[in-house]
Structure formats: C-alpha cells, structure tokens
Amino acid sequence: MSSAADSSDRLEKRLGLVDVYAIATGAMISSGFFLLPGIAAGRAGPAVVLAYILSSLLMLPGLFSIAELSSAMPRAAGTYFFIHRSLGPWAGTVGGFGDWLTLTFKSAFALVGMGAYLAIFVDVPIQPVAIALTVAFGALNIFGAKETARLQLVLVVTLVTIMAFYIGQGLVEVVGEGAVATVSGAFTPFLPFGIGALASTIGLVFISYAGLTKVAAAAEEIRDLDRNLPLGMLLALGTIAFIYAGGVFVMVSVLPAEELYEDLTPVATAGEEILSWLPGQTGLILVVIAAIAAFASTGNAGILTASRYPLAMARDRLTWSGFDQVGRFGTPTVGILATCVLMIISILFLDVEALASLGSAFLLLIFALVNMSVIIMRESRTASYAPAFRSPFYPWTQIIGVISTLGLIATLGPFSIVFVLVVVGIATAWYRIYARPRVENRGAIYTLFARLGERQDAGIDEELWSILQERGASEEDSFDELVARAQVIDLPGKADMTEVIGKVAGVMRSQLQRGMQDLDEAITASGVRAVVPENASAVVHDLFLEDLEHPEVVLVRAKRGVRIGGGRRFPGSSGEPEADENGNGARVHALVFLFSPEGRVTQHLRLLAQLVTMVEHEAFPEVWRRAHDDQELLETLLRDERYASIVVGSPGPPSKMVDKRLYELTFPGNTLVAMVRRGDRTIFPKGDTLLRAGDRLTVIGSPADVVTLQGDASRHATGGGSGDVSGGGSRDAAGDGAAGTEEA
C-alpha cells in the first residue's frame, strides 16, 4: 500500500507540550495587543474589554475542530491539509495559498512593528531592521524546529512575566484610594456606540487570537499529539485571553478616552502612567522589551508555520515539487527560504499593515472551512477517520463556529469581503491552470456524495489508513498487552473457514457476558470487510461486540492454509483481493481476529492498523511458520522495541529469579511479564506465579524500559552470552529462528 508521502520526507517529532504552548502563545500576541486596543476602543468604547473576552470564546469552535482534525491527520500545514482532504483539492488550493500569504504578511508586519519599537530608543531605519530580523529568524528555522521552539519559549516566558507584572501593577493602581470612582467613570457609558459597534469590534479583535491554531501547521512534529496539541492550545488561549482582557481593562481605566482612541502604542502610554514609580524610564523599557518579545515571537512562529504550507501543497502536486524537500536539519528549507523572500518583498514594497488586517479577514474564512471540515469528515463516515480527540457538542460547536466566523467577516466591511474574493479568485485560477491537470479530485466530500448517490473517493480512505499505520497504536491502547493475552488456535491439518470461525466463536463466547449464539454468523459476515494485506499470507478480521469489556484478539495458524472468500486491502476500499480461476479467495496461513467493545471506534481502528502493519512485514510469514509454540506465535505480533525475552536461571540477574514469585521481583519502570513458557505450556502469570529454572519470560514495556532491562542484564552478565536477555527483532532475523527465541 502506498503512503501519502515517503517516510524519509517526514518531519521529526521534536515538539512537546511546552513547545506547543510557546508557539501558540507567541503566535497570538503582538499587534493585537500592542497596537490594536486603541483603534478597537475607538469603535466600541469601554466595551472593548468585553469584545476581547467574547472573541476568545468564539475561538473555541475552531480550537476544538483543529484539535480533532490534527489527531486524525497530523500533517505539516495542518489547516491546508484538513481542508484539502475534506473539501477537495480546489478548496485545499484556496486554503493553502490564502493561509501561506496571510501568515507571511502578518509575520512581516510583526517584524516591522518590532523595528518600530526598537526605534523608540535607538534611531534605526525600520525597514532594514525588519529585513535583518527576517533573515535571522529564517536561518534559525532552517536549523531546526526544536531550536526555533527553544527561542520561542524564552520569548514567551519573558513576555508573559512582564505582562503579568504590568497587569498586576495596573490593577493595584486602579483599585487604589479614590481610583474606584475614576474607573467607574471610565466605563460609563459602557456601550457609547451601540451593540452594532461592539459586534464589529469583536470581528476586528478576533484577529488577535487567529495565531492560536498556527501550531497545527507543525502537527507532524509534535510528540503525543492527541494530548499535547489540544491542551497546549487551551492553555495558550487562557493565558492570552487573560493578558488581553486584563491589559485592555488597565488601559481603559488609566487613559483618557480621547487619548486612548488615537493612540497606536497604548500599552507604552499606560505603562508610563502605572509604572511611574520605577526610576527613570524603567517602566517604558519594560514595556518595550515585552513588545519586542511579542513581535519577535510572532515573526518567528509565523516563519515556522507558514513555511509548512508550500511543503504540504507540493506533496499534493499543487505547487512546485522542490518545496517538498526536507533539508539536512530535518526542516523544509526551500519553503522557509520562499517564505522569507516573500516577507522581504512585502516589507519593501507593500503596505504590510493593511495586508495584515485584510489577511485576517481571510483567516476567518479559513476558520469557517475548518469547522465545515469536521462536519464533512464525520458525516462522510470515512472508514479510516479515527481522531483520538473528538470535539465536544458536535455538530453544534462547528455550526456556531461557521456562522460566527462568516458573520464576523461581514462586520469588517465591504473592502475586506472584496479582498477575500480576490484571493479566492487568484487561487482558483492557479488551480485550474496549473494544479488541476496534475491532481486527482480527492476529499471526504466525495465520500459524502456517495452516500447521496453521487461519486465516491476511495483515495481519502487509503491515505487516512496509511496515516493510521504510520502512527500505530498509542500508549493508551495497550497493544502489546492485548497481543500478549491473545488466544492462540494452531491447526496442523487441513481446515476451512467454517471450522476456523467455529473455533474462534467458541473461544470468544467465554469472554462475553451473554453467550451470543449467532456469533458464528457475525464473524462470517465480517469476512467481506476483512483486511487482506498486500503480499502477505494473512487476513485480519475485525468485529464490534456489545457485551465485550475490552478488546480481545484471537490468532489462528493454519499450517496448510485456508481459503478465504472475501476481504479488502484497507478499510473503506472497494477492491477485492486476488482470486484463482475458480473464484476462490487467497490461501492464508495467519488469521487474526480483533474484537472490540461497541462504540470504541477510534481505538479499534488504531489496533486494527497496528495488527495489519505487523503482518505486512516482509519477514512475518517465515517467522510465523517457524514459531514452535504459542509464546513464539504471540511474539511475532509484538513490536520489537517493546519486548524482551528472559530465561530464568541464566547468568546475571535472571539467576536470582529461580524459585521466586513475580511479586518478589523488581523490573524497570512499568514493564510487565506477559507470558511464561514452561516446557510445552504457555502460562499467563499472576503476581504469585512461582518461577522455575528454564522458564522463558516475555516481558513487555515502553522502549526505554526494555532498553533498561537489557542494559541491566548486560552489565551483570558473566559469560552467559547474548541469549540471557534478548530483545525483539525477530522480524529482522527471520532466518535465524523463531521470534525472540534464545539458547538457555
């Protein structure tokens, strides 16, 4: 099965929760706080504080939608990828170009703003400084996302610390003696320009939070994505909402309305007022440092995320293939260079501030499309769509998100609407002239059309399936424990599917709360959708059962092979596996049956993908055939880096295990003794299981814990050889014997 892109071109997973938080936080706070509050207050009056709060709440639908789509499709240039795979290549072209241009222009504007704040104390030309900063941040991005994230963290910590001090001091100032009456007067009347003005101001300041989802463009590089992305974005939104609302409250409280409405640097002006007790210009210096950190973090994060859009579009042949090149540092070098060149051109020749504002109107359209993408992906019922994080209150969250963002575009005025239409028109022309002859129409929307009687796109199923296989089972899925407790049926003689299904059903009935007498028929019916991996003598059946408490696996080895009657290459595919001249299906020697509790679709698909990945390995058939017993059969499906075999009584630490019960022994981390092979019996041990000399233990755990286990044995070995504690690797050495076996 082909994947969407060669694995060698994938970006390394270097970013953790703190990095996600830093990128999302840094991408949000710059002009929206340091330049915009005065303009926004001129529209809404004191209600500008409420506008910032409501805007942060309206970000939640987009945040939840981005998190869900990212957990199912973690790819560079996240929003582009989501829109393309759900709404098709035309919408993907519009979204990709629009996002790339607007992020580039907003990043350029941030660096111009940084130069302007530097000019407060140092007489320097703004444009050359902005260009130099573009080159510096571009070089940093080329050297690696992790290095970029480290700088981002420093900038964000500096910014948040100063802003917390600023807001805290401001609140002390406004609640001091006699200040309450002053503040009350500053907020009266609260809505001097009416509700309509408040609505338009919400649309204006919404752009202040638009950078929140920029981090989704780096989803391919995030570790533990299902947890770190939504949590990091929520923490960032909470932090920035507090800074915006608290900071603007202070500005409205301490600055006269007429002065605030015309001030392009209200943070600095208010800072001089509330920090006047500091010696000299210390207060102003602190504000300038915070502003520089904010603009730098926005420019830096903008280059990081914007450069991923041409990379992703090149993978889909919507742009020049050179953008798909990943450099020696594991970053999209060509995309970064192109982004920096475009930023320099915009700094030199364009009204960057106007373009940044208009670009934000297009970002609102992107948010609407992202919310629509979740609806399309779910309603298309694409078989391989398995998000680990699911947006709450679907579909109302997405419906509110679509309506609110489109409505906010309308409040920004006709010029913004025209700009959005112009960008859409240019992207459409590019798609028709350049991209359309090179790409297939692919998207979940065509699968939705199939439900309505129109054409279907099986390509999106195949691509999502390849992503599932690439990601594999998560830690929460406990895949290795599932395999270790699997039931094994070994059939040495001739057998047919009826016999196999009867034996599997007999094993599974003992796991069900109710007997389910029609289980044989249910398993037989599942055969038409069983996965028959290409070039593998195996078939993987999957079935949901209501009375099951947790997933279970049954393995069947048919030494003389079994003819199967149906199947598919991957979930959602319509192609049938090869058949002989009589119409009989393939002959397989490995039959894997996965049973999951009803409703656990995401976990079920991840486990199914991991099982198929294991049997697709080129060495699997030989290792499976040569396995001597149940334990070795089970080990063929364990991931090599997650298990080790120990012979009790061997030199080193295993010698101290003889005649010990498991609860008396200490193993590294959270490793688990999953199986014990004693003579011709496989034992599934408990804490009080007594170990005997010659027992062979299969120990499973995280890769780090398994390495520690092997290292401890190596350090204490006294000539017992490498067989005392062995790791996985059976699929890399099929010719040397069965999986994980060793000489005692």
Q: Please write the tens of the pLDDT for every residue from 202-215.
A: 888 887 887 776 67
Which of 348-362, 367-381, 415-429, 523-537 has the weakest average pLDDT?
Answer: 348-362
Which of 206-215, 369-378, 682-691 has the weakest average pLDDT?
Answer: 206-215
The mean of the pLDDT values for the chain is 80
Write the class of the CATH domain 472-616.
alpha beta
Cα distance between residue 77 and residue 5, in whole Å: 14
CATH assignment, 14-438: 1.20.1740.10
Residue in the block written with tokens 């260079």 = 337
The pLDDT assigned to 723 comes to 44
The pLDDT assigned to 299 comes to 80
272-306 pLDDT, tens per residue? 888 888 888 888 888 888 888 778 777 877 787 78
Q: What are phi and psi of 308, to 5 degrees?
A: -80, -15
Contacts of 418 (CB under 8 A, 6+ apart): none
The pLDDT assigned to 461 comes to 75
Q: Are strands 552-563 and 587-597 parallel, antiparallel or unpaired?
A: antiparallel
The two structure tokens encoding residue 91 = 């919408």
189-240 pLDDT, tens per residue? 889 988 888 988 888 888 788 777 667 767 777 888 888 889 999 999 999 9
The two structure tokens encoding residue 58 = 């309206």
The one-character DSSP state at 257 is H
62-95 pLDDT, tens per residue? 999 999 998 888 876 668 888 988 888 899 899 8
Strand (E) or helix (H) holding 699: strand 696-700
Please report, as a single letter, which amino acid is at residue 81: F
Q: Is 260 helix (H, G, I), strand (E, B) or coil?
A: helix
Tell me, which fold does domain 632-736 have in CATH? Alpha-Beta Plaits (3.30.70)
The percent of the chain in helix, strand and coil, each rounded to the nearest 5, is 60, 10, 30
The pLDDT assigned to 457 comes to 57
Q: How confident is the model over 633-655, as a mean pLDDT?
A: 86
The pLDDT assigned to 556 comes to 93
Q: Between residues 364 and 60, which one has the greater pLDDT? A: 60
The two structure tokens encoding residue 173 = 């100032």
Q: Find, among 301, 215, 259, the residue nearest to 20 by Cα.
A: 215
Q: Does the structure show a pLDDT above 50 at 686?
A: yes
Instruction: Place 712 in a pLDDT band, splitting at 50, 70 and 90.
Output: low
Strand (E) or helix (H) holding 672: strand 672-678
Please report, as a single letter, which amino acid is at residue 537: S
The pLDDT assigned to 249 comes to 92
Q: How confident is the model over 6-21, as a mean pLDDT?
A: 66
Q: Are strands 643-647 and 552-563 parallel, antiparallel or unpaired?
A: unpaired
468-524 pLDDT, tens per residue? 877 777 777 788 888 888 889 999 888 888 899 889 988 888 777 655 668 888 888
* Every domain range in the chain assigned CATH 1.20.1740.10: 14-438
* Every domain range in the chain assigned CATH 3.30.70.1450: 632-736
* Every domain range in the chain assigned CATH 3.40.930.10: 472-616
Share of the chain above pLDDT 90, in %: 16
Residue in the block written with tokens 């496989």 = 682
Instruction: Place 711 in a pLDDT band, splitting at 50, 70 and 90.
Output: confident
User: In this structure, are residues 708 and 693 in contact, taking their beta carbons and an 8 Å threshold?
Assistant: no
Q: Does the structure show a pLDDT above 50 at 609?
A: yes
Q: Between residues 495 and 358, which one has the greater pLDDT? A: 495
User: In this structure, are residues 698 and 675 in contact, taking their beta carbons and an 8 Å threshold?
Assistant: yes
The pLDDT assigned to 12 comes to 61
Q: Between residues 524 and 722, which one has the greater pLDDT? A: 524
126-183 pLDDT, tens per residue? 788 889 989 998 988 887 655 555 666 777 788 888 888 888 888 888 776 555 666 6
Q: How many CB atoms lie within 10 A of CB 638?
A: 24
* DSSP-H helix ranges across 29-125: 31-34, 36-44, 48-58, 60-72, 78-87, 89-118
522-579 pLDDT, tens per residue? 888 888 888 888 777 899 999 998 878 889 999 999 988 888 877 777 776 655 555 5
Q: How many CB atoms lie within 10 A of CB 618?
A: 10
Instruction: Place 595 in a pLDDT band, splitting at 50, 70 and 90.
Output: very high
What's the pTM? 0.75
Q: Is 441 helix (H, G, I), strand (E, B) or coil?
A: coil
